[in-house]
């Protein structure tokens, strides 16, 4: 834990501060340890400044608080002998304060930022796996947790608070990490949570409808993602140019590396590039041939689906950009593994193939179904739901996609939260041409069981929306539930 003084910590911004020794930073007054600095942020729903007296009573050595009504002026007062600094624009400066306290950990290890609507978790974990296979030591930060791949700890958000990020990076550095692959959400970018992170590489996977309840428009959502490439000076930028947003960006980014499944999409790019030349799909995975600014190559990896081909290619390209040898990367590819809950295959001889995927947006569901059609010799089943208290506009869109691309659509509950599950399904049914053909089973385990019992051994059943999650959020509260456990149980019961 760094030991410094309060004056030294805030020296770049304001110097009329006591030399008080400090030993930690926290945003939560309930976690105060003697010697900590309590950072009191004024949020939308909670003003943490009202907890300043409690933090001081718990042993806080100093307090940094949103400036409130000081009109952008710094100010220091003493409360029970403890210095309280009114700090203008605190939220947007928090990353830099934490970076200074933890002695710039992102400059000690290589940090790879991954942004996009879908694929962030898969790409970050593929990059980390590849590095581990080549004798590095990579950690990940994102949706499925933070830590090294064999010991992930749950994360509350895709991108944590500005303070959490710097603290986590410092911990990884202390634990000997050589690299960190970090999912970077649009919220995290807009809210400056990664403002002081020194990224060595930045990856754009794709952009499709999501988080419009926060950003308002697709243009604002895209602009948020673009910040990773325009505000951080990353030496390596890897862009999926099959996505129209990525293609537009790269036209103004000659230094970026363009990646595509089609050679025509990269021909005009003046900078480095990598593109698919052929792919073979099998139930055991994919064999990919490519050409690039680093030369041509071929490798096999045990992942399924076309979008995983892109995930593999952007991961490969990033590591090439970071200086890894092409032949070494290709040789290690066969040892890569599917990410839990991301197109994760569960299969046993003479039974339908079950695939658990996190797809919870229209684009992700469409891609998952199209990808699985290539692996399906019988009927393609789709079990999916939509979250409550979230973007209602995507509900009919997802039902339309399931009706068009699957042979059998089963509508079930996702995380209904405070909304009526029946009302959510009613919204979904509005997107279907023939809603009477849809099967409605609100209980997810029952929906999986129904599909498994009625599918043939040549069928493929996609269970979409929950992926790695092991909970379900109902109006009555959060309960334990896992699609992965349900699917495993179905296969074991038939064994």
Q: Is 291 annotated as a binding residue?
A: no
Q: Is 133 annotated as a binding residue?
A: no
Q: Is 287 annotated as a binding residue?
A: no
Q: Is 298 annotated as a binding residue?
A: no
Q: Is 20 annotated as a binding residue?
A: no
Compute the distance between CA of residue 45 and CA of residue 411 in angstroms, rounded to an integer: 34
CB under 8 Å, gap of 24 or more: what pairs does 453-456 form? Answer: 455/352, 455/378, 455/379, 455/381, 456/352, 456/378, 456/379
H helices of 158-273, where? 162-174, 186-190, 212-215, 218-230, 244-250
For residue 432, give Cα distances in angstroms to 320, 409, 429: 44, 10, 5
Q: Is 173 annotated as a binding residue?
A: no
CA atoms lying within 13 Å on the CB side of residue 473: 13
Q: Is 119 annotated as a binding residue?
A: yes
Torsion angle in degrees (nearest 10) through CA of 233, 221, 264, 120: 70
Q: Is 361 annotated as a binding residue?
A: no
Q: Is 107 annotated as a binding residue?
A: no
Q: Is 117 annotated as a binding residue?
A: yes
Q: Is 193 annotated as a binding residue?
A: yes
* CA nearest to 123, candidates 372, 371, 317: 317
DSSP class of 305? S
Q: Is 415 annotated as a binding residue?
A: yes
Q: Is 29 annotated as a binding residue?
A: no
Q: Is 295 annotated as a binding residue?
A: no
CA 37 centroid distance within chain? 30
Q: Is 79 annotated as a binding residue?
A: no
CA 485 centroid distance within chain? 22
Q: Is 465 annotated as a binding residue?
A: yes
Q: Is 176 annotated as a binding residue?
A: no
Q: Is 27 annotated as a binding residue?
A: yes
Q: Is 416 annotated as a binding residue?
A: yes
Other beta carbons within 10 Å of 115: 29
The residues that bridge with 460 in the sheet, in sequence order, are 353, 380
Q: Which residues are annotated as a binding site for meso-2,6-diaminopimelate?
A: 390, 414-417, 465, 469
Q: Which residues are annotated as a binding site?
A: 27, 116-122, 157-159, 185, 191, 193, 390, 414-417, 465, 469
Q: Which residues are annotated as a binding site for ATP?
A: 116-122
């Amino acid at each position: 834990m760094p030991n410094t003084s309060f004056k030294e910590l805030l020296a770049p911004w304001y110097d009329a501060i006591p030399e008080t020794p400090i030993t930690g930073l926290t945003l939560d007054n309930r976690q105060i340890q003697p010697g900590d600095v309590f950072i009191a942020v004024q949020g939308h729903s909670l003003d943490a400044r009202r907890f300043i007296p409690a933090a001081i009573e718990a042993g806080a050595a100093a307090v940094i608080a949103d400036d409130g009504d000081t009109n952008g002026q710094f100010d220091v007062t003493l409360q029970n002998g403890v210095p309280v600094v009114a700090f203008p624009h605190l939220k947007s400066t928090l990353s830099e304060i934490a970076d200074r306290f933890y002695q710039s950990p992102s400059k000690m290890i290589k940090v790879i930022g991954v942004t996009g609507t879908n694929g962030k978790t898969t790409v970050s974990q593929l990059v980390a796996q590849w590095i581990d296979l080549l004798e590095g030591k990579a950690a990940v930060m994102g949706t499925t947790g933070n830590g090294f791949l064999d010991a992930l700890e749950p994360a509350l958000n895709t991108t944590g608070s500005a303070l959490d990020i710097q603290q986590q990076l410092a911990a990884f550095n202390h634990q000997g990490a050589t690299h960190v692959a970090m999912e970077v959400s649009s919220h995290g970018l807009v809210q400056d949570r990664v403002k002081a992170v020194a990224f060595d590489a930045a990856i754009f996977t794709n952009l499709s409808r999501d988080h419009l309840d926060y950003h308002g428009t697709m243009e604002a959502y895209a602009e948020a993602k673009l910040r990773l490439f325009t505000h951080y000076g990353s030496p390596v930028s890897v862009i999926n140019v099959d996505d129209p947003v990525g293609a537009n960006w790269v036209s103004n980014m000659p230094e970026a590396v363009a990646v595509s499944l089609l050679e025509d999409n990269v021909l005009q790019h003046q900078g480095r590039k990598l593109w698919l030349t052929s792919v073979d799909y099998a139930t055991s995975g994919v064999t990919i041939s490519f050409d690039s600014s680093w030369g041509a190559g071929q490798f096999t990896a045990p992942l399924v689906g076309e979008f995983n081909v892109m995930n593999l290619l952007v991961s490969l390209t990033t590591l090439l950009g970071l200086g890894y040898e092409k032949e070494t990367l290709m040789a290690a590819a066969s040892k890569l593994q599917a990410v839990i809950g991301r197109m994760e295959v569960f299969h046993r001889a003479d039974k339908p193939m079950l695939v658990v995927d996190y797809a919870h947006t229209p684009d992700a569901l469409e891609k998952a179904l199209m990808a699985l059609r290539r692996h399906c010799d019988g009927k393609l089943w789709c079990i999916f739901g939509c979250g409550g208290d979230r973007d209602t506009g995507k509900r009919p869109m997802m039902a339309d996609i399931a009706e068009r691309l699957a042979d059998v659509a089963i509508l079930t509950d996702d995380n209904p939260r405070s909304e009526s599950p029946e009302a959510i399904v009613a919204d979904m049914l509005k997107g279907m041409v023939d809603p009477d053909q849809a099967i409605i089973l609100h209980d997810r385990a029952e929906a999986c069981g129904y599909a498994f019992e009625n599918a043939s051994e040549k069928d493929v059943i996609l269970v979409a929306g929950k992926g790695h999650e092991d909970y379900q959020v109902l109006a009555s509260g959060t309960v334990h539930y896992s699609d992965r456990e349900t699917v495993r149980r179905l296969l074991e019961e038939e064994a």
